[in-house]
Chain A
Amino acid sequence: MIVEKIHTENMFLYYSGKMALNNISIQIPEKKVTAFIGPSGCGKSTFLRSLNRMNDLIDGVKIEGKVMIDSVNIYDKNIDVVNLRKKVGMVFQKSNPFAKSIYENIAYGPKINGINNKHQLDEIVETALKNAAIWDEVKDRLGDSALGLSGGQQQRLCIARTLAVNPEIVLMDEPASALDPLSTAKIEELIVQLKEHYTIVIVTHNMQQAARISDNTAFFYLGELIEYDKTRKIFTNPEKKQTEDYITGRFG
């Protein structure tokens, strides 16, 4: 059965009065991979960031409409943003490990959340690294600096760091765009595995990547959600001409 995890209703977002998202209404299912595609500046990353209120950090941002996660409007006044971001984790395009050991990178979040028991932290670190499919590569050097890892490993470490605080939703903004094909393949495989436990929303410019890993695809253009459907449908027989033109590369 498909359970709705996120939904927005008539959502508008303005940067200093300029409309960046125009009336977005979408339902994102739980434990599925949902991909956002569209040309640069179409609003897909802005929309992704609005799902854990990352846009709050930007001056002049105004949001209208509803952004519901588990039927709660995350823009309500009484929402604790720190808790929200624990529940809705995020992985960025450029891997950004802390200049600390591999172990400390993962243990950092749980520690901030009050877990200090060494045994418990060890367990969290091991589980997170295993879930991010990097445990076997780093288990013998947990004390080494995370900055010594390869780009692909750093990105999986960042995914592990996100998983360590036990989120329900993982937002990913171009998580594999700076990686070589082999590392990209590992990240993609990982994303597909992660959907067993997490709701994944990914922004990608790589349309073949969206096609390979996502269950549903949303196409954004000029701040609007043009088409949202099963990925198979979008890539074989999209309804809208703009979607067709974009995915076939006829977009001028």
Chain B
Amino acid sequence: MENYRIFDSELDKLAHKVKLMCSQVNHQVNDVILALNTNDLVLAKKVIANDEYINNLDVKIDKLCQKIFALQQPVASDLRYIISALKINNDLERIGDHAVSIAKRIEPLQEYEQLIQELGLELIGEKTKNIFSDVVELVNGHNLEFAEQITIKAQEIKEECREIASTMLTEMMHQSEIVVVAANILIIINLFERISGYSTNIAESISFVVNGEIIKHKK
């Protein structure tokens, strides 16, 4: 019953681009975490520069989805895949932006390595890398076991980020001289939390592709 369609080559092209986007954003996330952990300003600048490639790819994926919608009138699993590709692309692009935002905040954190270590920022970074490697697996293979893992891990990251934020706020009240650096740390924490949030969105989108059920906002 299987039959090759011209449409399939368009879908293959789209799947290839989404996987490429995912892998590029994965590099950005890994690099920015490494740059943060090692105070590597050169690597931070590289992350900022690479964003343009991701933005271009984002537009290409959008255009390809538009073209498929307009010319192929996709239905059923094809329709679900293209809707999800658009959303996943959007989420990945936002994660890429967040990596850039973190990269831009590494310089003001110089000289505060000890504080960063004490707060456990490195651990959050590792967990974010870990959740994103699940995202890559999920996007490449549509194995929903990774989707479950992502949801669990995102919740953990969220809780830990909130804990760090609360510690930070207490410190700020006692040491006014750290307010500037603390504000940057709070922003970075928030960005990590957002990255894990977008990872959850991607997990939900892939679940929609596979099962056809919208699971977001369901607890």
Where the two chains meet, the residues of A that have a C-beta atom closer than 8 Å to any C-beta of B are 207-208, 211, 235-238, 241-245, 247-252
List, in ascending order, chain B residues with CB within 8 A of A249's CB: 3, 5, 7
Q: From residue A82, how far is it (CB to closest CB) to chain B in Å?
A: 41
Tell me whether B111 is interfacial, beta carbon within 8 Å. Answer: no
A250 to B73, CA, bound (A): 14
Size range of the interface on B? Answer: 10 to 19
Residue pair B1, A250 in contact (C-beta under 8 Å): yes
List, in ascending order, chain B residues with CB within 8 A of A244's CB: 76-77
Tell me whether B212 is interfacial, beta carbon within 8 Å. Answer: yes
Q: Which 3 A-B pairs have the closest CB atoms?
A: A237-B212, A252-B3, A235-B75
Residue pair B1, A237 in contact (C-beta under 8 Å): no
User: Residue-by-residue, is B5-19 near A (CB-CB < 8 Å gives 1, otherwise 0)?
Assistant: 101000000000000
Given A208-B73, A249-B7, the answer on whether A236 and B2 have CB atoms closer than 8 Å is: no
Residue pair A236, B79 in contact (C-beta under 8 Å): yes
Q: Which residue of B lies closest to A211 (CB)?
A: B75
Q: From residue B182, how far is it (CB to closest CB) to chain A in Å?
A: 48
Q: Which residue of B lies closest to A252 (CB)?
A: B3
List, in ascending order, chain B residues with CB within 8 A of A252's CB: 1-3
Interface centre among B7, B75, B80, B212 (most CB of A within 10 A): B75
Q: Which residue of B lies closest to A247 (CB)?
A: B75
Q: Which residue of B lies closest to A238 (CB)?
A: B76
Tell me whether B78 is interfacial, beta carbon within 8 Å. Answer: yes
A208 to B77, CA, bound (A): 16
Residue pair A242, B78 in contact (C-beta under 8 Å): no
List, in ascending order, chain B residues with CB within 8 A of A238's CB: 76
Residue pair B1, A248 in contact (C-beta under 8 Å): no
List, in ascending order, chain A residues with CB within 8 A of B212's CB: 236-237
Residue pair B80, A236 in contact (C-beta under 8 Å): yes
A242 to B3, CA, bound (A): 12
Residue pair B1, A245 in contact (C-beta under 8 Å): yes
User: Residue-by-residue, is B77-90 near A (CB-CB < 8 Å gives 1, otherwise 0)?
Assistant: 11110000000000
Q: From residue A122, how far is it (CB to closest CB) to chain B in Å?
A: 44
A115 to B7, CA, bound (A): 56
List, in ascending order, chain B residues with CB within 8 A of A241's CB: 1
List, in ascending order, chain A residues with CB within 8 A of B7's CB: 249
Q: Which residue of B lies closest to A233 (CB)?
A: B212
Residue pair A248, B2 in contact (C-beta under 8 Å): no
A252 to B79, CA, bound (A): 20
List, in ascending order, chain A residues with CB within 8 A of B75's CB: 207, 211, 235-236, 247-248
Q: From residue B10, how far is it (CB to closest CB) to chain A in Å?
A: 12
List, in ascending order, chain A residues with CB within 8 A of B2's CB: 245, 250, 252
Q: From residue B114, how far is it (CB to closest CB) to chain A in Å?
A: 54
Residue pair A237, B3 in contact (C-beta under 8 Å): no
List, in ascending order, chain B residues with CB within 8 A of A211's CB: 75
Q: Which residue of A lies closest to B5 (CB)?
A: A249
Residue pair A237, B76 in contact (C-beta under 8 Å): yes
Given A237-B212, A242-B1, the answer on whether A248 and B77 have CB atoms closer than 8 Å is: yes
List, in ascending order, chain A residues with CB within 8 A of B80's CB: 236-237
List, in ascending order, chain B residues with CB within 8 A of A247's CB: 75-76
Residue pair A250, B5 in contact (C-beta under 8 Å): yes
A250 to B6, CA, bound (A): 11
Q: Which residue of A lies closest to B83 (CB)?
A: A236
A243 to B7, CA, bound (A): 18
List, in ascending order, chain B residues with CB within 8 A of A207's CB: 75
